[in-house]
């Protein structure tokens, strides 16, 4: 067992910030208030040229704890570049990521550290999470992520489904703010690619799946905020970014190329379902039609298309309380 993965493990918390002055304090407090805060060696916050109001908040946060280090960037670096800059300043063998507008559950590290302590083959632990609309955590809803930990990384793939394939097709999703990972696995994968500005996490996890195992803590350990000003919030070009990342992965891993239509169909289906919950029926139908063209065998996309395109009112009524809870978590009145 690696000492870094045991009870005496040291963790560097990698945080990012861009004009998130109204959120970053709560995020940092959720780190300092961890039940295993004794394991935290450093809290490194990389700022990407925020406005003066956020910079004032960060200067105040620097005084909260001697372990806090703020990197004041020039701006324009982007989220993956910020993470790379912060990780370059980390000294510990374990890394935990937290975006500046997300909030950890108090026992986040306590629940994940034993996984790495007990399983030397695991390089990444992720978790379920709650999602909530900005300003209304009372409407937080459990996301319900998939467990893909049964698949195996390439160097252990004899007789089992390769992890890279399972991740590529199923994408749990793994939210970066839920993760705890070994630095050696991060470095073996090549780390975050600063050139990938949207879905940089997907690009990273595909490469990470080639070199290490993943594990899941099924309980929610994060509160993830939904807001229009986030990187993906309100964007209309998300499928183009999904396509870029999928083809980038397939270029490096040719066996993934035949799976690209299936992956993109699932991305289109999920985006279509989300547009439907936002009461954008036309946008939902367009995405769901695209999904069934990409993968005519995707029965879930066909069901969603039938519901959104033919019986939208009935579909919303059938969703009932569950549907209203999902809309509330997205901030839909």
Of residues 19, 22, 20, 2, the one with CA closest to residue 10: 2
Residue 99: other Cβ atoms inside 10 A: 26
Query: Would you say 44 and 90 are in contact if contact means Cβ atoms under 8 Å apart?
Result: yes
> Residue 50 corresponds to which tokens in the numbers above?
């925020």
High-pLDDT (> 90) share of the chain, %:
78
Each residue of 173-193: pLDDT tens digit?
Answer: 999 999 999 999 999 999 999
Quickly state the pLDDT bin for 157 (edges 50, 70, 90).
very low
Mean pLDDT, rounded, of the chain: 90
The CA angle 281-283-288, to the nearest 5 degrees, is: 90
pTM score, whole prediction: 0.90
CATH fold for the domain made of 3-226: Spore Coat Polysaccharide Biosynthesis Protein SpsA; Chain A (3.90.550)
Tell me whether residue 169 is exposed, middle or buried, using C-beta atoms within 10 angstroms of its C-beta: 0 to 12, 13 to 18, 19 or more.
middle
Each residue of 273-314: pLDDT tens digit?
Answer: 999 888 899 999 999 999 999 999 999 999 999 988 878 776
Which residue(s) pair with 126 in the sheet? 216
What is the residue-wise DSSP string for 153-175?
A: -GGG-TTS-BHHHHHHHH-----
Quickly state the pLDDT bin for 4 (edges 50, 70, 90).
very low
Of residues 125, 113, 115, 246, the one with CA closest to residue 175: 125
Query: Would you say 155 and 211 are in contact if contact means Cβ atoms under 8 Å apart?
Result: yes
Q: Establish how many alpha carbons lie within 13 A of residue 164's alpha carbon, considering only the half-sphere containing its beta carbon.
A: 26
Query: Rounded CA gap, 19 and 266, in Å?
Result: 32
Query: Would you say 236 and 265 are in contact if contact means Cβ atoms under 8 Å apart?
Result: no
Where exactly are the structural domains of the chain? 3-226, 238-330
């Amino acid at each position: 067992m690696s000492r870094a993965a045991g009870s005496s493990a040291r963790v560097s918390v990698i945080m990012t910030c861009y004009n998130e002055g109204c959120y970053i304090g709560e995020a940092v407090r959720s780190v300092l208030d961890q039940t295993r805060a004794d394991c935290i060696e450093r809290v490194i916050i990389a700022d990407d040229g925020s406005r003066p109001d956020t910079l004032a908040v960060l200067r105040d946060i620097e005084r909260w704890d001697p372990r806090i280090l703020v990197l004041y960037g020039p701006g324009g670096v982007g989220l993956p570049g910020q993470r790379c800059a912060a990780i370059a300043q980390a000294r510990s063998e374990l890394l935990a990521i937290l975006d500046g507008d997300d909030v950890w559950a108090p026992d986040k590290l306590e629940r994940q550290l034993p996984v790495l302590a007990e399983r030397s083959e695991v390089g990444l632990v992720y978790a379920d999470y709650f999602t909530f609309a900005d300003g209304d955590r009372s409407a937080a809803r459990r996301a319900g992520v998939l467990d893909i930990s049964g698949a195996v990384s390439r160097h252990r793939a004899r007789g089992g489904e390769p992890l890279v394939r399972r991740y590529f097709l199923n994408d749990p999703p793994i939210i970066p703010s839920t993760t705890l990972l070994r630095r050696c696995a991060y470095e073996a994968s090549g780390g975050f690619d600063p050139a990938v500005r949207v879905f940089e996490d997907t690009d990273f996890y595909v490469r990470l799946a080639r070199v290490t195992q993943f594990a899941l803590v099924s309980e929610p350990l994060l509160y993830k905020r939904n807001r229009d000003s986030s990187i993906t919030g309100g964007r209309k070009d998300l499928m183009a970014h999904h396509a870029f990342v999928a083809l980038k992965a397939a270029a490096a891993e040719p066996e993934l190329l035949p799976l690209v239509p299936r992956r993109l169909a699932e991305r289109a289906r999920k985006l279509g379902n989300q547009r439907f919950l936002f009461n954008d029926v036309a946008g939902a139908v367009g995405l769901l039609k695209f999904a069934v063209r990409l993968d005519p065998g995707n029965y879930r996309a066909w069901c969603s298309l039938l519901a959104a395109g033919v019986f939208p009112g009935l579909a919303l009524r059938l969703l009932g309380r569950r549907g209203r809870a999902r809309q509330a978590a997205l901030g839909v009145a």
